[in-house]
Structure 1
């Protein structure tokens, strides 16, 4: 017992003296799919130097049996997910406990610590733990491009560097499908870095220019790649000549006196040096460009002849001839419709037939063509007349048509505009950028503008009408505005736009809605029947307002009941009508209620006094003296009767003060009685107001 205690004391002293310690980093980061290495060197009591030992790595904060990541003696004790993937990079007896995890996964992230066990109770856990973080796989291979010339073999090298000596990566190539390739592979090491190399052999051709060559590195669970766009050098080819003038079989024909421009273009890489030549003389040259223009500001017949374009780069040469002829064009081309010669404008009603004649003076006779939107409609050869016929015209036939006449000396052409007349259609109403509106809504007091537009030819006479009355008219114009400088209630309604020309009529309705703030109706008021008092609050607004009864202890809306109060509400069109009924109770107290009607344009209020202690009779009376209409922040105070106001203006001030105190009570907390803040004089004031309002 004494010996064991002595040993434990010695062990404690060794720990305190720092003999049991390890050098491990607090954090290690590895890429998913690669390897992770946690550097570790440990120290222990010197009397154990020659003792056999067991090294254990745990994937946890504490030494749990199910979290063993590595076991130097019995790998079967390792957690299933770490088996065959963990090892030590150094020698455990040399105090090197560095851990290597191959094929790291995201699930391997977490805390790790090392434990050594010499047996006989000599074991130690080395803390603090090292936290392993696993990030996405981001390492890419590197392709070293090589100069590629069409038809010549070339090698392209791809390398991938890694410090992981566990599972070896695989380098593969993705090449154009029709290209036979071969690749060699090698591995070299310098220090801790392993370099995997793949050399691809291929023979590029012209069609590979611009295609992709991909080198891909692959581990068991991750992969990455680098793409090289192939740049294949080749000799000039596909040399062509083009011109704004006609080019046919390397022949360009231009009318005398006109300008001409001929473009020589070629495909090559690198870009070619281009030269235009005539009669063995170089006319102009460009370097490292695959295009070259030859221009004639004003042609003469001496410019006619054969010209050569020559393209040359370091890989070869190409050339092509083009023959330039200077022509004398046909002249006096005319368009005839219904015996009207030299027509430039033809107008026919939709559904009718039409025939237009194109004629030319030329010798020899010209080849003539009718064209529309760049499409040839019909052609005649060696004939100075050509008809264009329409058995039944539609509006789609309208447009510009060209008649082209050509002979061996040149070309002449002329346009004729065909218009197809038709009745108004596609009438649309537009307001605030909203096309084809059937309903327009605007706020009272604002301005409004509504556009009516139509498609027709000739242009229509447009009219705005309302309730059978013509508001505005325009003649021979397919657009007409209807404007309201300042909208009122009375402007609301259905308006018609009517379009008319000599071929027909079209019309369309638009509904104008005028929105306005709530206004308390004169129909509002209160009446007492037997044991109850009923007040009606009616208000008009657009859109219809939300009506709320504000009582000392509650806010009611719709169909609700609260104590002795019951509300009922009905809405129709722009009118909302709310009814508040107070049943007589034991308290027998009078109540002041506020009717509030609100929409997005403002609000209106009506304050009423509901008396239940008066004489039992049926009658309608107005109790409140204050009707407040709040529209767009503008407060208007209306006095119900001037006589009541002047007779009781002093008492009205007291009533207003009492009402404010009562509303404050509602905001601050429950009020036992609406007369809690009133004195006798105040009660007399309400009685007097009731009598004067009857």
Structure 2
């Protein structure tokens, strides 16, 4: 028994919460008060008028008690009775007895009991698709069997006004390029006719037009047996063009009753960076570069110089104009050291964009002191090294007087190295003029000529001279050794005595009388 009472108590609590939820969502206002008539026939109805809005629904909270001998089987509700004791069938708006068809046609299908079990003595009803003509007094009658019934004289008054509630539009965070869904929920938690949803949007200075996207015309969520939540969704791909556009959700109820809500889209986006300004400036002038970016919310813009750790914060002036942010970089009295790559970065939450500009500082050419000329063996060689921007060109007026010469040119950054070689013929130069020029101007420099005389051995080169010295030294040593050896042999020969076996004699003998003689050489016995 205790368990059944606990279940009933919980049921009554849930019903009470449900009734008040519907009342609050429909715009109705009510507070109940118990009134008793005969015996235990008591009814609890709203003491004050119940207000509601057209197109929505209204809940008439109601509960009753009867004598123990009376068991209610059906419930009947009346509207606009002539008097509290005189209600006729023409005034019936709801009857739980389905066999009784005496129900006003305008109320058919619009009225429901919140608690279908009459034995629970909960007589609360919900009326959907309200119109202002539904305003008036409502009375309850409970019936037992075929004929026995009891009509409560206490009335509750309902006042229906024009619709003022608006749909609710839920907008999640919008980011360009990321598909998103907007949700429009109709006012009220009514279970009457399904409303119709229409989405429109308007850009700045434009007329209303249909939104391009995937629209769910209607979505119905059953909260309870008599309450529903109606909504529509719009899925589209937001872009920067959608930012600050107005989106309208219109909800149309029965009997041409409409409500709408307009919201403004805030799309997070970051467009392309643009750098404006003159990137080629003269030495000593000011450098002004402006980096612009359109974004929402405004981006953080910074300037840096590639390859440099120098902070350019002091030289940067940031200006924000609505959704367009600019950062102007100003450097006074620039020199060639300021040439290089300047990078602009715009940071918006996670994404970061960057762009760059190549800055060139123009300056008048200058000729380096390492330039000069040398004459060697009647050959003149001159080198002129000059730096400037734009890159300078070098001229040698000397070459106008010569037809045979050679020229060599090398480039490095903003410097040019040009050398010439000329064979001199009966000409003697003490200086040679070098002219360097670019778009900024021209400079001239007379280069001194240095004469270089080679020594004799220099004609062969140091290696060849050393070779000849070595050959001469070896030859001298060999000659000295030969002379010493010959003197030694000569001196030794004078000390040797002749032996007999070493002697040789010669005799001349005449064998015939002739004018010729034979010479015979033979050893003596």
TM-score range, shorter chain: 0.3 to 0.5
The two structures have a TM-score, normalised by structure 2, of 0.48
Return the structure number with greater helix share.
2
Report the structure number with the largest CA radius of gyration: 2
Higher relative contact order (CA 8 A, sep 6+): 2
Return the structure number with greater strand share.
1
The two structures have a TM-score, normalised by structure 1, of 0.37
